[in-house]
Structure 1
């Protein structure tokens, strides 16, 4: 295989302009010669060839100089793009190109390039955070399982100690199962652009069903439930929407103290189907409200063993895929209200 030299774009640009100048000279030289000839300049003993050669050499020098200067000016942004692309390929996502070039097309390319780099930087940050968080979330229950399993090997354990350790192992195993299940669900939903398996069903009955499934959580706390559920048909994915109610109601129950109150309303409004879940729990600060839909975020680290920070991000993604919106209003000590608005099937 014959070796082929690598030539830059600037070299091809200079060569192309040089050839154009040369062709122009070859075409114009006979015209100059004819002008000199018919202008009777030769009658005075002047040789026509030196002026022609002078014109050719002068044109070559001036044309090549201009080509080099203009070529470097025009092609320098492309060189910048190439160097920036190499940096990105090596993992450096902090590159920023100058967007103040005089040429509009180059400005636009630089602008879109910077947007691309910003998105790649965000994705890389999210990926790193996801790996760190997943590792941490798995490490905690695994360490608990290992620790309590080691304690079970101790001789002369009492029945109470044995039951306590096995109970902690079971709880940690359930936490792992819940975490892995939620990770799989949210990963699948993040790669979906639309929901499938849509059917018509009673949304008010689904909310009641969710409350019945959670009865073992709210009944011991003697919570007061206020339900104002309008009979409504909804066209959507029944299984995923049930997950929404289970997560929101589960959080309301978890953060509401004994003897508290949970109100659930469902009604048809001008904006669509509106569902609100209000509790009289501990509430949230402004900073917590800003991050509750982020994966693995725990507003109260002391309660990290009770969840994995994926419930609300999962709810947000399901609502978004359903074409709806979710909002939260909350103040510390005054409880929280989650409001979901879903579109009405037409």
Structure 2
């Protein structure tokens, strides 16, 4: 069993070429053999008519002497003259095996008809002429050396051999170029299996193989991106876990000091509890994201008042925004929505929590609902620190924290907006961000009234 695609392609091509050439040779020989025979017979007819004219002028009785004089001119032809009395005279080049001529053709020629014939030995023509009351039939056929001469066949075979050799050489070269991208893909696959996704396949072909290679290269880039995301995810999770664990471990060791005063001991315990809660929130968010990413995440739609749900979220967060003296402005007309109440409740809590977190004391947060015939939009706008244009492109990525130097003391794991975006996508909605540094941020969530339907 041949495993190499290159060898299989070459052998298949050679087999196809050889079969095609044999078929072409047979068909060509069949098509042109008849035409060549007819052309040879036409030449023999012309020769025979010329000889008959000479016979008639010089006298038929002198035909033997005449043929001796012109026998050099008849090189390559054999002549037989039949009389009506059954006699046979032979002139020109003598054949070892003359073409057999049946009596019917001789009779037709004696009667003045032009006879053409072919047998295994070769072609012949017959012409009739008279001398007084006597009838003669002149039959012309090629000599033996011309019968054995297969010049046309040799030319055809030579041409076919040249075509086969040149075509095979050309296809071997072409097959190399054909298989080269597949070999590159094989090598790239082996490297990818070892974790190396940097094999850039540069192929300029536009055919099906080029499309295949381009698709493979697109897959390679996506896998590379996914691998980078996986590595970043592991790195971020490790970092987010390591920081509170370090604090917990450090302050737990400090608590073992017997000379520690009560106030310091209580403060260290509060820090340990705070870091423990931070780890718990991180764990909850990771589990929630994993569940949202799975195909089996529960989705339980129900019809309820969206405006009431948002008001409840504002009330539940009142300790946070009132502590910072933030004014909350609500514009919430009555809206009924069919969606998963718990999931969207998480969205409004996360968005409001972000607005409170990044809005300075004395700032303002506004929440508005807008409706049209098909869609409902909810906008959370604040007068907070804003987000730079460079950060806005990545703000929904997991663990991404815009401008860490300014908000490292604010807290958070960078998973809140990633969870929000995932929930909105599960509800067939969209989320948009508009922000200016120093002026604030506005996030707009757009949903269909029935979140089981897609936004057109």
The bucket for the TM-score relative to the shorter chain is: 0.7 to 0.9
Q: Structure 1 residue 8 and structure 2 residue 4: aligned?
A: yes
Which residue number corresponds to residue 336 of structure 2? 233
For the 8 Å contact 1:100–1:107, the answer to whether it is kept is: yes
Which residue number corresponds to residue 299 of structure 2? 196
CA distance, structure 2, for counterparts of residue 16 and residue 274 of structure 1: 64
Q: Structure 1 residue 72 and structure 2 residue 176: aligned?
A: yes
Relative distance call for 1:199 and 1:14 in structure 2 (3 A) is: same
Relative distance call for 1:295 and 1:67 in structure 2 (3 A) is: same
Relative distance call for 1:53 and 1:320 in structure 2 (3 A) is: closer
Which residue number corresponds to residue 423 of structure 2? 318
Which residue number corresponds to residue 362 of structure 2? 259
Runs (5+) with no aligned partner, structure 2: 37-120, 124-141
Relative distance call for 1:145 and 1:65 in structure 2 (3 A) is: same
Larger radius of gyration: 2
Q: Structure 1 residue 87 and structure 2 residue 191: aligned?
A: yes
Listed as ranges, the matches of 1:1-346 within 5 Å are: 7-24=3-20, 38=122, 43-44=145-146, 46=148, 51=154, 58=162, 61-101=165-205, 104-192=207-295, 196-270=299-373, 272-301=375-404, 302-304=406-408, 306-345=411-450
How far has the Cα of 1:295 moved from its partner? 1.0
Relative distance call for 1:267 and 1:45 in structure 2 (3 A) is: closer
How far has the Cα of 1:60 moved from its partner? 5.0
Relative distance call for 1:57 and 1:277 in structure 2 (3 A) is: closer
For the 8 Å contact 2:317–2:353, the answer to whether it is kept is: yes
CA distance, structure 2, for counterparts of residue 297 and residue 27 of structure 1: 70
Runs (5+) with no aligned partner, structure 1: none
The number of equivalent residue pairs is 341
Q: Which structure has the highest helix share of the two?
A: 1
CA distance, structure 2, for counterparts of residue 29 and residue 332 of structure 1: 82
Structure with the larger RCO, 1 or 2 (CA within 8 Å, 6+ apart) = 1
For the 8 Å contact 1:214–1:250, the answer to whether it is kept is: yes
Relative distance call for 1:7 and 1:328 in structure 2 (3 A) is: closer
For the 8 Å contact 1:195–1:321, the answer to whether it is kept is: no
For the 8 Å contact 1:206–1:242, the answer to whether it is kept is: yes
Greater Cα shift, 22-31 or 176-185: 22-31
Relative distance call for 1:25 and 1:179 in structure 2 (3 A) is: same
How far has the Cα of 1:150 moved from its partner? 0.6
Q: Deviations over 1:170-198 (max 9, x none)?
A: 11111111111111111222334987211
For the 8 Å contact 1:93–1:120, the answer to whether it is kept is: yes
TM-score by length of 1: 0.87
CA distance, structure 2, for counterparts of residue 175 and residue 229 of structure 1: 33
Q: Deviations over 1:138-187 (max 9, x none)?
A: 11011111011011111122111111011001111111111111111112
How far has the Cα of 1:41 moved from its partner? 8.4
CA distance, structure 1, for counterparts of residue 26 and residue 379 of structure 2: 89
Q: Deviations over 1:43-90 (max 9, x none)?
A: 347476994986776565344324323322333333333333333333
For the 8 Å contact 1:195–1:322, the answer to whether it is kept is: no
Relative distance call for 1:167 and 1:14 in structure 2 (3 A) is: same
Relative distance call for 1:56 and 1:203 in structure 2 (3 A) is: closer
Greater Cα shift, 305-314 or 221-230: 221-230
CA distance, structure 2, for counterparts of residue 74 and residue 181 of structure 1: 53
Relative distance call for 1:195 and 1:272 in structure 2 (3 A) is: farther
Relative distance call for 1:19 and 1:241 in structure 2 (3 A) is: same
The alignment's C-alpha RMSD in Å is: 3.0
For the 8 Å contact 1:203–1:234, the answer to whether it is kept is: yes
Q: Which structure has the highest strand share of the two?
A: 2
TM-score by length of 2: 0.67
